[in-house]
């Protein structure tokens, strides 16, 4: 059995979307994040910092959104959302999956919170450089890792949807709107993301 720990108003929603894309057999448990100290202390047994998402699969606990995404797409290959090891898309797919949580997310968080940071002294780039890199890539390819939809898109599209439509912090570049329009045609995206995070701002 696979159990997902998440909250519908969190980055964990991207993992729920991925599970639907993969047609995996899973159960989802909502972790209440709005208590005085965040998630319940007992949740540390699953995640050391009480963050979501996390999964438990066949007795093994896996944390970190990028690791979960890569793991799930490899373990549930029927839908082909993970390029094979010898596929030229494998490298970009891995890079973008990790870039999303390791670079884009921290830079977006810093922007939302108004942090002033020196890009040369942190392990992620300047916000305008991050936005430009994503924009340039999506100008060159229809999906974030290449010419077809992969698990990396569940992470990137979730971040763009959240950052543009709900936070209003990612600029609504035309190429981002085109990308999200393609993604919005996917039934699993409509079922999971749009129902939980409807568009609140015009793009």
pLDDT, tens digit (0-9, with 9 covering 90-100), for 122-155:
999 999 999 999 999 999 999 999 999 999 999 9
Arithmetic mean of pLDDT, 30-36: 90
Number of domain units in the chain:
2
- Same domain, residue pair 145 and 51: no
Q: Tell me what percent of the residues of the chain surpass a pLDDT of 90.
A: 91
Q: Indicate the helix (H) or strand (E) that contains 98.
A: helix 90-99
User: Has residue 201 been placed in a domain?
Assistant: no
- Same domain, residue pair 105 and 191: yes
- Same domain, residue pair 103 and 188: yes
CATH of the domain at 95: 1.20.1050.10
Residue 200: the pLDDT is 44
pLDDT, tens digit (0-9, with 9 covering 90-100), for 158-190:
999 999 999 999 999 999 999 999 999 999 999
- Same domain, residue pair 27 and 97: no
pTM for the complete prediction? 0.93
Q: What is the C-alpha separation between 165 and 2, in angstroms, rounded?
A: 31
Residue 197: the pLDDT is 59
Domain boundary among 79, 112, 144: 79
């Amino acid at each position: 059995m696979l159990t997902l720990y998440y909250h519908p108003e969190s980055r964990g929603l991207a993992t729920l979307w991925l599970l639907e894309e993969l047609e995996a057999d899973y159960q989802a448990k909502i972790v209440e994040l709005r208590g005085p100290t965040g998630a319940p202390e007992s949740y540390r047994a699953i995640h050391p910092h009480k963050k979501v998402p996390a999964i438990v699969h066949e007795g093994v606990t896996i944390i970190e959104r990028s690791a979960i995404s890569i793991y799930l797409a490899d373990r549930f290959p029927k839908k082909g959302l993970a390029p094979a090891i010898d596929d030229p898309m494998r490298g970009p797919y891995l890079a973008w999956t990790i870039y999303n949580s390791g670079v884009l997310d921290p830079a977006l968080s810093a922007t939302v919170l108004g942090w002033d940071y020196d890009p040369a002294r942190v392990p992620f780039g300047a916000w305008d450089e991050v936005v430009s890199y994503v924009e340039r890539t999506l100008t060159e390819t229809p999906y974030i890792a290449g010419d077809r939809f992969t698990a990396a898109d569940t992470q990137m599209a979730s971040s763009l949807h959240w950052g543009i439509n709900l936070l209003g912090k990612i600029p609504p570049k035309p190429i981002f709107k085109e990308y999200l329009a393609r993604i919005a045609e996917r039934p699993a995206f409509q079922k999971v993301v749009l129902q939980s995070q409807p568009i609140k701002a015009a793009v």
